[in-house]
Amino acid sequence: MKEPLKITGAEAILSSLIKENVDTIFGYPGGAIMPIYDKLFDKFHKLKHILVRHEQGAAHAAQAYAMVTGKPGVCFATSGPGATNLITGITNANLDSIPIIFITAQVSSTLLGTDAFQETDMISLSMPVTKWNYQVTKANEIADAIAKAFFFAKTGRPGPVLIDITKDAQNELTEFNYKKIKSIRSYNPKPELKDEDIRTTLLLMQSSKKPLLLAGHGILLANATGQLEAFVNKTKIPVAVTLLGKSAICEDNPYYAGMLGMHGNYAPNVLTNEADLIIAAGMRFDDRVTGDLSRYAKKARIIHIDIDKAELNKNVKADIAIHADIKDFLDEIIPAINYSADKRWLEQFRKLEKIEQEKVIHKECFPENGKIRSGEVINRLSVKTAREAIIVTDVGQNQMMGARYYKYKYPNSLITSGGLGTMGFGLPAAMGAQVGRPDKTVILITGDGGFQMTAQELGTVFQYNLPVKIVIFNNNFLGMVRQWQQLFNNNRYAETNMPTPDFPLIAKAFGIEGAVVKDRAKLDQALDKMLNHNGPHLLEVKIEKEANVFPMIYPGMAVDEIILEP
């Protein structure tokens, strides 16, 4: 009898990824992972590999790829420093609920625990920031481990998983038989929606005069944007979004009420504390949304729907805590709705919007003098791209401005670091977004500080000719930290003043077109040149040095105490 064909563990890894319809891997080779890369050499016709310049860049790129495609990202790193360089990106993905398969290499199993060269206990290190992790020491474990990894990453509340594979397991021969996993005992990723929860929700809606729907990232993760739109159009309930919930509903929708949070819009923050019913859909009541919890939404009955039971009643006590997939909930409730919110309630939002427009938005987007402001740049980009672009931000003032002043039309068109707030996220994430959606214009909005944290990824942009459009707002400050120092530390700018290099010259060194603009009269021309350029382009914009982001909820304040101007 002929013996079954055997392949190496490294081949089994790649073959397993192909079985899961993976087409792109972000990674960086090294000693312990060399067997995988050697076999990858034979698989380039099926698996595209993007060679980043730092493993953190691979993690952020994989996250953005997952966010724009709806498929899990995949990331490779070698043992020791290669694997530990992923930790920030893993944590970022974990807090933002993004499915990524991290595959790290490990020293041979005979050396485990000996402090061998580049040995690091990645299972212990990654356990707090992964949904699931596992160490493989035998080649015959690989297929099953990868199948479980994809199942865990994609189902329920999505998240990152990590498989640590020893070098001898990569070289060992094994029979290959891959089976996708459809269920795992004791793991129930799809909670059952109860009819009673639907009935109670409908009853509370019927008695509500001032309802408010809060839409979070869960709407996008559940592919429930169509259901959300149908729900608000039928009920006429104002809908506000979290930072990661941005783009869950088109901002042209007549019931769109703006963004929640510390630098969100005036109306939804103020009126949260006037609402008599809050429906929280796929959001987790983050502290940046709630402000002072002891004074949050005290007039409202609260209905909280989340697929992760741990989020229910964690920060805000709900009158009805519904453990369910938000898409299932909306599909079930929409046909049963016989309710329409009072239009006078929506008019209250419109009145407050006019106040914010006059005191903040118009001054930011249409300044009559002074230096260029970041809000006017983003507003012009919104118009020039017909709101069709994917916007990727770094973290800080640039992030808040990118969220506030681009008018999002399509789902998953804002890619940003939410829960962790990772400076340096922007450039590698823009790469991942462009790889995932080559048909889209991808624009990176970043600051001079965050850009320098991962600027080496310009090498990746150059190597793969990724046509990312990079806008660097340069105020020679760590802008958001400086804003807090101004407001709360009597202008004591301790270590936030940052001289910067010649960014266009750096871009040129990487073979990327670059330019700088400092005069408002030349801004449109510079933006047009960047957008029309065939390939990557970096535009440094010299902005107002001490401009601040408002509105703002100061630390310790209630959401309805939001400040429009200092």
User: Which residues are tagged catalytic?
Assistant: 55, 117-118, 167, 480
Residues paired with residue 563 on neighbouring β-strands, in sequence order:
552
Question: Among all chains, which residue has been given the structure tokens 């929280």?
Answer: 280
Q: Which residues pair with residue 352 across a beta bridge? A: none
Q: What does the alpha-carbon distance between residue 543 and residue 524 come to, in Å, rounded to a whole number?
A: 15
Query: Which secondary structure element, helix H or strand E, spans residue 515, and what is its range?
Result: strand 513-517
Say how many CA atoms lie within 13 Å of 160 toward its Cβ: 30
**Backbone phi, then psi, for 558, in 5-degree steps?**
-80, 160
Q: Look up residue 322 and give its DSSP letter.
A: E
Q: For residue 452, how many other CB atoms are within 10 A of its CB?
A: 19
* Phi, psi for residue 6 in degrees, rounded to 5: -115, 145
Enumerate residues 6+ apart whose C-beta is below 8 A from 126.
87, 90, 102, 133, 162
Backbone angles phi, psi at 125, to 5 degrees: -65, -40
Which residues are 49's β-sheet partners? 25
Rounded Cα distance, 311 and 51, in Å:
37
Residue among 255, 214, 228 nearest 345 (CA): 255
- The DSSP call for residue 3 is P
- Crossing angle (nearest 10°) for helices 397-405 and 374-384: 40
C-alpha closest to that of 302 among 204, 191, 222, 206: 204
Question: 477 near 496, Cβ under 8 Å?
Answer: yes
Instruction: Name the nearest CA neighbour of 302 among 240, 242, 214.
Output: 214
